[in-house]
C-alpha cells in the first residue's frame, strides 16, 4: 500500500516551460501513479485542494497554475491560447512522470483535451469537467477575424485591475460569482487567488488571459484534437452548467463516456464534490498506462 505524506499541506514547486516559470503544488506520495489537476480560466491550482486531499493517498497529486494565473509567470505579449497552455500542461506531466492521469476543469479541460490529442502518449486517462467549449468565435481565419481579436486585445492595455480593500471583500466577490460555493471554502479560494498591492488586494491572474491569441484553435476545429486522444476520457457536465458546452462531444473520441452531475453548476467539483469523486474514482482506477508506471 502506498502511503501519502501526512504534512499540513502541499509543497509549491516550479518548472520552466517556453521560458516561463510555471508553478505547481505537490501533495507528495511520489511512488504512486501521477495525477495532474488543471484549473479553469481566472482560477488557480489551490482551488483543487478538496479533490487533491481526497485522492492523494492513491496518486501522486499535483496541481499547476496555468500561465498568467496563480503564481505562474505572465506571458509577455499575451500568448494565452490553447496551444500555449497545452505545452505547459505537457511540461508539468513530463516533470512528474508520463503518462499521467489528468483531471481538468473548464478552460483547463479544453487545454488538456487539446494536449491529449497532440501528445497522446503523455495521458493515461483524462477527466474533463465542463471542458468542451471554446471562447473564440467560429469561422475561418482571415483579416476580419484577426482584427476583431486585435481590437479586443488592445483594450486591455488601458485596463486596471479592481482593488479590493481586504481579503474579505475579495471573498465576497468569489461568493457572488458562484453562490453555490461552500461558505467555509470561499476564504481559501480568495486567499490563493489574490495578491497584496497598495490599498488592498487584486486578483493574481493576468487581465490579458481574456484575450487568448490570434492563433487560437476555433470551435469547429476542436473535434480533430478530440479524435486523436488515445486514452479513456470521462466527460463530466453539470445539469445546470454552461450552455456553451458540447454535451454531445463523446461521439468524437475513440474511448469516452459522459456523466451528468445533478444539482450542480459550472464548478461541479465545488458544488457536488462527492458526486464528482464518485464518478472520477473508478474511472481513474481503471486507467491502464500506455507505458511506464
d(CA 261, CA 238): 5
Q: How many CB atoms lie within 10 A of CB 18?
A: 13
Q: Which CATH superfamily is domain 11-134+206-286 in?
A: Alpha/Beta hydrolase fold, catalytic domain (3.40.50.1820)
CA distance 256 to 186: 33
Residue 168 contacts by C-beta under 8 Å, 6 or more apart in sequence? 187
Query: What is residue 4's predicted lDDT score, i.e. its pLDDT?
Result: 35
The confidence score (pLDDT) of residue 98 equals 97
The pLDDT of residue 3 = 32
| pLDDT (tens digit per residue) in 48-91 | 999 999 999 999 999 999 999 999 999 988 889 899 999 999 99
Residue 99, preceding bond cis, omega within 30 degrees?
yes
In the β-sheet with 233-238, what is the strand arrangement from edge to edge?
11-17, 20-26, 60-64, 34-38, 100-105, 123-129, 233-238, 256-261
Instruction: Give residue limits of the domains in the chain.
Output: 11-134+206-286
Q: Please say whether the beta carbons of 84 and 62 come within 8 A.
A: no
Question: What is the structure's pLDDT at 227?
Answer: 98
Locate 51 and state its grid cell. Answer: 479533490
Burial pattern 125-136, b for ≥16 Cβ within 10 A else e, equals bbbbbbbbbbeb
- Please give the chain's pLDDT, 293 residues, in tens: 233 334 569 999 999 999 999 999 999 999 999 999 999 999 999 999 999 999 999 999 999 999 999 999 999 888 898 999 999 999 999 999 999 999 999 999 999 999 999 999 999 999 999 999 887 766 777 888 888 888 888 888 889 999 999 999 999 999 999 999 999 999 999 999 999 999 999 999 999 998 877 667 888 899 999 999 999 999 999 999 988 999 999 999 999 999 999 999 999 999 999 999 999 999 999 987 544 44
pLDDT at residue 214, as a whole number = 60
Q: What is the pLDDT of residue 135?
A: 73
How far apart (Å, rounded) are the C-alpha atoms in residues 57 and 85?
A: 28
Q: Which of 157, 188, 159, 151 is nearest to 171 (CA)?
A: 188
Cα distance between the two ends of the chain: 15
What's residue 185's pLDDT?
A: 96
pTM greater than the 0.85 cutoff: yes
User: Cα(54)–Cα(61) distance, rounded to whole angstroms?
Assistant: 10
Q: Residue 62: beta bridge partners?
A: 26, 36
Amino acid at each position: 500500500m502506498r502511503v501519502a505524506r501526512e504534512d499540513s499541506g502541499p509543497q509549491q514547486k516550479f518548472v520552466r516551460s517556453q521560458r516561463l516559470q510555471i508553478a505547481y503544488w505537490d501533495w507528495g506520495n511520489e511512488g504512486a501513479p501521477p495525477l495532474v489537476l488543471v484549473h479553469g480560466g481566472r482560477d488557480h491550482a489551490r482551488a483543487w485542494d478538496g479533490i487533491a486531499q481526497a485522492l492523494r493517498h492513491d496518486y501522486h497529486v499535483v496541481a499547476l497554475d496555468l500561465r498568467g494565473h496563480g503564481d505562474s509567470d505572465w506571458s509577455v505579449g499575451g500568448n494565452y491560447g490553447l496551444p500555449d497552455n497545452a505545452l505547459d500542461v505537457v511540461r508539468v506531466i513530463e516533470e512528474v512522470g508520463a503518462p499521467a492521469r489528468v483531471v481538468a476543469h473548464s478552460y483547463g479541460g479544453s487545454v488538456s483535451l487539446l494536449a491529449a490529442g497532440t501528445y497522446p502518449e503523455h495521458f493515461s486517462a483524462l477527466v474533463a469537467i465542463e471542458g468542451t467549449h471554446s471562447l473564440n468565435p467560429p469561422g475561418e481565419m482571415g483579416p476580419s477575424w484577426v482584427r476583431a481579436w486585435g481590437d479586443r486585445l488592445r483594450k486591455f492595455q488601458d485596463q486596471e485591475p479592481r482593488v479590493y480593500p481586504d481579503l474579505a471583500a475579495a471573498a465576497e466577490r468569489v461568493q457572488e460569482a458562484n453562490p453555490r460555493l461552500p461558505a467555509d471554502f470561499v476564504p481559501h479560494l480568495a486567499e490563493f487567488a489574490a495578491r497584496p498591492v497598495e490599498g488592498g488586494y487584486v486578483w493574481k491572474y493576468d487581465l490579458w488571459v481574456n484575450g487568448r491569441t490570434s492563433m487560437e484553435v476555433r470551435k469547429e476545429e476542436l473535434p480533430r484534437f478530440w479524435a486523436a486522444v488515445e486514452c479513456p476520457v470521462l466527460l463530466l457536465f453539470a445539469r445546470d452548467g454552461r450552455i456553451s458546452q458540447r454535451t454531445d462531444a463523446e461521439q468524437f473520441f475513440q474511448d469516452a463516456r459522459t456523466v451528468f452531475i445533478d444539482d450542480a453548476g459550472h464548478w461541479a467539483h465545488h458544488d457536488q464534490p462527492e458526486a464528482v469523486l464518485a464518478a472520477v474514482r473508478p474511472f481513474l482506477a481503471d486507467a491502464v498506462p500506455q507505458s511506464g508506471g
